[in-house]
């Protein structure tokens, strides 16, 4: 796994085994400043690159597909962006083993694969287990933003998030201010598909587990 993870920042690419864990994000974006925002599964990366170009913060994206990662890397390098870090890797592994904790002001998850077949539901991102990993990225007061066109998946995600004691959750009615954020959102809005959007704020200072995720964990000492 570790050998397949790539990290691109400030015109250079690194293999994960050449870097320290958790990643020293400050060193990767030397000279840049401002709050961090993270996008998980950035696809073609249009939104993330646009945000980084506009400035006013630092941005990090995680994407499993090598083709999409390379597209973002090319855009970031050709624009000489020093406030954008792109990671090619599996999001749960990256959240668990690679990224520091509580560094992000916002985490964005837009149109994650819905895995519609029941036997694949456990692969869905933002179930009670992956949610706890995502929340570890957020500083207290940080926000998690989510959108999907798969309404059953969206309602299930909403139910899971609303059961989390660290979150203050709301449905976002209508489009985001500023219009569609990602390629999928632009396409689905054009097609007139209903989209479920959520915003959750981490309201607790101390880390808290999701009650459903916690059930399977047993800790003991002698």
Catalytic residue numbers, as ranges: 113
Position 111 contacts ligand SAM (CB under 6 A): yes
For 94-119, b/e burial (b = at least 16 CB within 10 A) is bbeebbeeebbbbbbbbbbebeeeee
Position 85 contacts ligand SAM (CB under 6 A): no
Q: Which stretch binds ligand SAM (CB under 6 A): 6-14, 29-37, 63-71, 131-139?
A: 63-71
Q: By CB under 6 A, how many residues form the interface with ligand SAM?
A: 18
Q: Which stretch binds ligand SAM (CB under 6 A): 17-25, 28-36, 178-186, 192-200?
A: 178-186
Residues in the chain: 222
Tokens describing residue 172: 């976002």
Position 196 contacts ligand SAM (CB under 6 A): no
DSSP result, 144-177? EEEEES-HHHHHHHHHHHHT-TTEEEEEE-SSPT
Least Cβ distance, residue 186 to ligand SAM (angstroms): 8
Position 198 contacts ligand SAM (CB under 6 A): no
- The span from the CA of 186 to the CA of 160, in Å, is 26
Least Cβ distance, residue 214 to ligand SAM (angstroms): 22
Strand blocks (E) in the chain: 6-9, 12-15, 36-40, 58-63, 84-88, 104-110, 138-148, 167-172, 196-202
- The span from the CA of 28 to the CA of 46, in Å, is 21
Q: What is the DSSP letter of 3?
A: G
- Of 32 and 198, nearer to ligand SAM (C-beta) is 198
Q: What is the DSSP letter of 80?
A: T
107 neighbors 72 (Cβ within 8 angstroms): no
- Of 82 and 183, nearer to ligand SAM (C-beta) is 183
Least Cβ distance, residue 25 to ligand SAM (angstroms): 18
Which one of 62, 81, 84, 161 is in contact with ligand SAM (CB under 6 A)? 62
Position 113 contacts ligand SAM (CB under 6 A): yes
Least Cβ distance, residue 42 to ligand SAM (angstroms): 6
Position 43 contacts ligand SAM (CB under 6 A): yes
Position 90 contacts ligand SAM (CB under 6 A): yes
Residues that bind ligand SAM (CB under 6 A): 41-43, 62-65, 68, 90-91, 110-113, 182-185
């Amino acid at each position: 796994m570790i050998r397949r993870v790539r990290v691109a920042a400030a015109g250079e690419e690194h293999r994960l085994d050449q870097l320290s864990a958790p990643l020293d994000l400050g060193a990767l974006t030397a000279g840049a400043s401002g709050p961090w925002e993270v996008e998980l599964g950035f696809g073609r990366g249009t939104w993330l690159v646009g945000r980084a170009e506009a400035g006013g913060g630092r941005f990090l994206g995680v994407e499993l597909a090598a083709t999409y990662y390379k597209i973002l890397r090319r855009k970031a390098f050709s624009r000489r962006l020093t406030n954008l870090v792109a990671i090619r890797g599996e999001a749960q592994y990256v959240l668990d083993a690679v990224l520091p904790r509580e560094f992000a002001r916002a985490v964005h998850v837009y149109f994650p694969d819905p895995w519609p077949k029941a036997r694949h539901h456990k692969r869905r991102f933002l179930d009670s287990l992956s949610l706890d990993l995502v929340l570890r990225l957020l500083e207290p007061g940080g926000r998690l933003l989510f959108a999907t066109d798969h309404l059953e998946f969206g309602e299930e995600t909403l139910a899971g998030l609303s059961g989390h004691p660290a979150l203050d959750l709301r449905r976002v009615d209508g489009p985001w201010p500023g219009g569609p954020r990602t390629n999928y959102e632009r396409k689905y809005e054009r097609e007139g598909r209903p989209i479920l959007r959520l915003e959750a704020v981490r309201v607790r200072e101390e880390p808290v587990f999701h009650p459903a995720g916690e059930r399977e964990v047993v800790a003991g000492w002698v």
